[in-house]
Amino acid sequence: MLRSLGARLLRLVPVLFLVSLGTFFLVDLVPGDPAVAILGSNATPEQYEAVRAELGLNESVVTRYFDWLGDTLRGDLGESLTPPTQSVTDLIQSRLPVTIQIATMAMLISVTVSIVLALAAAYRPGKVFDRVTSGTAFAAIAVPQFLTGLLLIFFVLFHTDLVRWFVLVAGIAGAVLIAVRAVGGVTDHPPGNERVRAAAIRAVLALAVVGFAVLLFARFPEFPRQGFTRISEDGLWPSLRDAFLPALTLAVAEIAIFMRLLRNDLITTLQEDYILSARAKGMPPWRILVRDALRPSSFSLITVAGVALGRLMGGTVIVETIFNLPGMGTLIVNAIGAQDVRVIQSSVLVIAVFYVLVNLLVDLSYSQLDPRLRRGRV
Amino acid sequence: MAVSEPTETKPVVQPATIGADVAAGTAAGASDIDAMLPRRRSRLLRFGVPTAVAGIALVVLGAVVMTEGTTWVRLSMIGAGLLAAYIGIDRVAKAVFGATFDTGLWMAAGWLALITLSAAFADLLPLSEHEDVSKTLTVTPMLTPDLLSSHPLGTDSQGLDVLGGVIYGARVSLVVGVGATVLGMVLGAAIGLVAGYLRGIVDAAVGLVGDAMLAFPPLILLLAMVAVLEPSIFNTTIALAILTVPTYIRLTRANTLLFAQREFVLAAKALGAKNRRIIVRELLPNVVLPVVSYGVIVVGALVVAEASLSFLGVGVQRPTPTWGNMIAAAQSRFESDPHLVFIPGACLFLTVYALNRVGESARAVWDPRQREL
């Protein structure tokens, strides 16, 4: 375990070196004189000279790189080049938490929802629910994130009443469906305590669905069109509420991708012999799905979730722009507009390093989930 | 038990519905049974033709005739009409071409053909001004869509024609998407072939650079590249092509490894073929199909990426209309005039959906690794 961790960390060193090299040379890739790009063409020669000195353009490339790398490793990312001049480290420190919060919430939403949907679809493959969710998922993958965001704004914010009534009707319909199914399902169980228990579970489920729908109908949260409350300011709820629509925007496509993947893996797992033996013992189908089939089916989901985090970090650029949130995405987009190369450089570097480290964690979590990987081939 | 039939495949013909025919006929193959089924076929036609006609009529009624009606009513009529038309056409197509006919796939291909042709021949179409604001001073801005007028999809806040914008935007999307894919594919496949065949230090170096590029989330890498380039169609294409190169290297390398061990490569080596000949004549023809079939899906992803850049204001800029910058421009009046967002949005969605649909079937047919999965 420790040795594989060491090997992985060692492999990261050259990758991170190349990443730093790439972001460092971003400044040199700007066509023309960086000083002119930053100041515009109307500055005095002294001002140009000052900017060149600030960028260290008069020194050799190697010195500049190692100076920059040293500063960066010490956590000093320099000062922004365009006014208002401020420490880039402070800027990123205030912006990164917003992006991480949205990406994390999006990840939690997509993993939870996709697991529930995939289990329900794999429960009766090829039946109506499976076909509808699979078809919808295939379509949802083709919706660009900014369009998802605008659609959510259109319905949830501009046509709130429509959504509230839809939630109410869908909740009641769902509960009725559960009740109708229960009438047939309960008689599968032997009479006595077990049948009572099965009936009780279904009744509670139906009531929970109706209760949730009514609660949402009566007290629909007032999501903001734009803006953001940080976690510390006013407790947890306002922050979660403000980040919900942006996170949901990011989650929609991921839900679709995760769900398709997990559904297919579940269906493959369900053909294994041990599932047959569990079924022969008389285990209820839901228990087999959740307890026996879910874990061995989740490996490709975890790989893809690692990659998805990269999409989420990129996608926050779009949702932060739509919902006007103070995160890394709007920082980068604004810096591109202002041609502030140093802010772009530092933000891109921070995000890339963060992404690499998260993927390392994903790699390591495999061996925790799959005992077969702990020994043998690592 | 519910969980028991995971890979239940639908039989091509339902035995229950054809009992009489089978009893009358002899042991016949599936296609013969299909041919012997005039009754099933005519039932499909009897249901399909009227449904399709009614659906199309409903769409026409909602879109063209009832111009005075409420927007919601008209939209639901168009929606219901499209659904009915799809179901009807699906039945008819299955009756004519056989039960395995994939109507959705052909519709996707049809949409791609439509959008490509109209983008290619946009200059010949009778479209109103979509680009030059100085020519639209006399045009009423914010016209609502009216399919029979000279502005079928309405005008935007500057009087520019939305249909024209959408069609010329398709041109940008397709040129950038296809161009970048081809460029990235050629570069990535060349590098991947060499790395996968030569192995050793070349492979390690290529893998390292690829890993470093994949260490950036895609959109972030794209923004970093766009930050140092002038926003133009050409530069956007280049940036998107670079973005796809590492993925293509991986894909080509993996496929090359599959074939590099095979006997025909060994035979070529034994006959004294040079590395270049082996790569170009032996490996390339085997690798090219899976790589190209993946390309269709990549075009879809790049169309989205291009639209995202335009939407963020760092891609192709006005006055050149693109789907992304049309949506971005319409955002400020989103609540009062949502159609300005949803029309280019729908084109974007349909195009990407169609590309995914066609790409998936292309991969299912041509990618050996995909078939194993």
Q: Tens-digit pLDDT profile for chain A (378 aa)? A: 566 777 778 888 888 899 888 888 887 776 666 677 667 777 788 888 887 777 777 777 788 888 888 888 888 887 777 767 788 899 899 999 999 999 999 999 999 999 999 998 998 888 888 999 999 999 999 999 999 999 999 999 898 888 999 999 999 998 898 888 777 766 766 777 777 887 888 889 889 999 999 998 988 888 887 777 777 766 778 888 888 999 999 999 899 999 999 999 999 898 889 988 988 888 888 888 888 888 888 888 888 888 888 788 888 899 999 999 999 999 999 888 887 888 888 999 999 988 888 888 887 777 677 666 665 443
Chain A CA closest to residue B212: A15
Mean pLDDT across B7-35:
42
What ipTM, to 2 d.p.? 0.86
**Looking at residue B76, what is its pLDDT?**
87
Cite the DSSP H helix spans in A160-296.
Answer: 160-186, 193-218, 237-269, 273-280, 285-287
Q: Are residues B223 and B306 in the same domain?
A: yes
Q: Say what the pLDDT of residue A296 is.
A: 84
Closest CA in chain A for residue B360: A138
Choose the mutation target among A13, A15, A189 for the interface with B, i.e. most B CBs under 10 Å. Answer: A15
Say whether both B207 and B335 belong to one domain: yes
Is residue B139 one of the residues assigned to a domain? no
* Residue of A30, A124, A314 with shortest CB distance to B220: A314
Give the residue from B216, B303, B363 with the most A CB atoms within 10 Å of its CB, the best one to mutate: B216
Q: Give the span between the Cα atoms of B115 and B99, in whole angstroms.
A: 28
B10 touches chain A (CB under 8 A): yes
The verdict on B83 and B205 lying in the same domain is no
Residue A179 lies in a domain: yes
What residues of chain B lie within 8 A of the CB of A281, using their CB?
Answer: none
Alpha helices in chain B (DSSP H): 19-24, 30-35, 38-60, 71-97, 103-120, 162-198, 200-214, 218-228, 233-260, 263-270, 275-277, 284-312, 323-330, 339-366, 368-372
B29 pLDDT band, cuts 50/70/90, is: very low
In a domain, A40, yes or no: no
State which of B74, B101, B128 marks the end of a domain. B101
Same domain, B244 and B353: yes
B68 contacts chain A (CB < 8 A): no
Helix (H/G/I), strand (E/B), else coil: A305: helix
Residue B54 lies in a domain: yes
Mean pLDDT of B74-79: 87
Higher per-residue pLDDT: A15 or B17: A15
- Chain A nearest-CA residue for B1: A285
Q: Is B338 on the interface with A (CB under 8 A)?
A: yes
Residue B337 and residue B237 share a domain: yes
Q: What's the pLDDT at A10?
A: 83
Give the three-class secondary structure for B367.
coil
pLDDT reported for residue A299:
81
Whether residue B27 is predicted with pLDDT greater than 60 in this model: the reply is: no
pLDDT digits (tens, 9 = 90+) for B171-192: 999 999 999 999 999 999 999 9
For B143-170, b/e burial (b = at least 16 CB within 10 A) is bebeeeeebbbbbbeebbbbbbbbbbbb
* Mean pLDDT computed over B100-113: 91
Q: How many CB atoms lie within 10 A of CB B265?
A: 19
pLDDT for position B32: 52
Residue-level pLDDT at A203: 86
**CB-CB: which of A26, A143, A268 is closest to B349?**
A143
User: Average pLDDT of B323-352?
Assistant: 91
Residue A300: which domain range? 96-308+318-327
What local confidence, expressed as pLDDT, does residue B368 receive?
A: 64
Instruction: Determine whether the interchain pair A126/B314 forms a contact, defined as Cβ–Cβ distance below 8 Å.
Output: no
**CB nearest B335 (choices: A158, A310, A318):** A158
**How many structural domains are present in chain A?**
1
Are B351 and B254 in the same domain?
yes
Checking if the pLDDT of B39 tops 70, the result is no
Q: Is the pLDDT of residue B107 over 50?
A: yes
Residue A377: per-residue pLDDT? 45
Query: Are B76 and B198 found together in one domain?
Result: no
Same domain, B83 and B173: no
pLDDT at residue B153 in the model: 84
Q: B315 lies in a domain?
A: yes
Looking at the structure, tell me whether residues B198 and B78 fall in a common domain: no
**Residue B372 in this model has a pLDDT that exceeds 90:** no
Domain boundary among B55, B76, B101: B101
Locate A126 and state its tokens. Answer: 């090829």
Closest by Cα among A320, A323, A347, A322 to A335: A347
Taking 70 as the threshold, does the pLDDT of residue B15 lie above it?
no
Contact A314 B217 (CB under 8 A): yes
* Residues of chain B with C-beta less than 8 angstroms from the C-beta of A352: 215-217, 220
Whether this model's pTM surpasses 0.80: yes
Distance CA B310, CA B314 (A): 6
Range of the domain at B79: 4-101
| Total tally of structural domains belonging to chain B | 2
Q: Are residues B199 and B285 in the same domain?
A: yes
Query: What is the share, in percent, of chain B residues with pLDDT greater than 70?
Result: 87
Q: Is residue A289 part of a domain?
A: yes
Interface contact B270, partner A, CB < 8 A: no
Residue A108 and residue A114 in contact, taking contact as beta carbons nearer than 8 Å: no
Inside any domain, residue B96: yes
pLDDT band, very low/low/confident/very high, at B170 (cuts 50, 70, 90): very high
Q: Do B220 and A351 touch (CB under 8 A)?
A: yes
